[in-house]
Amino acid sequence: MPIPALAIRRTPLVAVYGTLKRGLRNHHWLDGAEFVGEDILTSVTLYDLGPYPGARAETSRGVEIEVFRVDADCLEGLDRLEDYRVAQPTAGDYDRAIYTTAHGLAWLYLYNRDVAGCPVIREGGWPAGA
């Protein structure tokens, strides 16, 4: 279950589950970030949107994430990549929420758009089988 962002002013950790993971095409957005570790979250479900996944705050059997320590500049870049809009969080493609991970509280991007008809990943990682 996400922790309301207003309850926490700032966290230096980001949990990623898609193209930002190590070895995938957008990982370069995390250049300079410290890899902290992996975890599995049962409080999110992934939807395969084709070229990338989107997470929703829905119960799953366990979605694989990677956690990174980032600075403010890196987080700002991730916000641009994910179309997260600070002033209107539900207007962009993704919103941000704080989740509890094995490595501490971390931001995680949640998909705002329609997922009807998209394949669901309730266990494991993206891409499916990864």
Q: Catalytic pick from 34, 66, 82, 123?
A: 82
Domains of the chain, start order? 5-121 (3.10.490.10)
pLDDT at 7: 41
Contact between 113 and 93 under an 8 Å Cβ cutoff? The reply is yes
Catalytic-residue membership of 76: no
- Render each residue's pLDDT in the chain as its tens digit; 130 residues: 555 554 445 669 999 999 999 999 999 999 999 999 999 999 999 999 999 999 999 999 999 999 999 999 999 999 999 999 989 999 999 999 999 999 999 999 999 999 999 999 999 999 865 5
Phi and psi at residue 72, to the nearest 5°? -60, -40
Is the entire prediction scored with pTM above 0.85? Answer: yes
Confidence (pLDDT) at 8: 47
Judge whether 106 and 14 are in contact, CB under 8 Å.
Answer: yes
Does residue 78 contact residue 20 with C-beta atoms inside 8 Å? yes
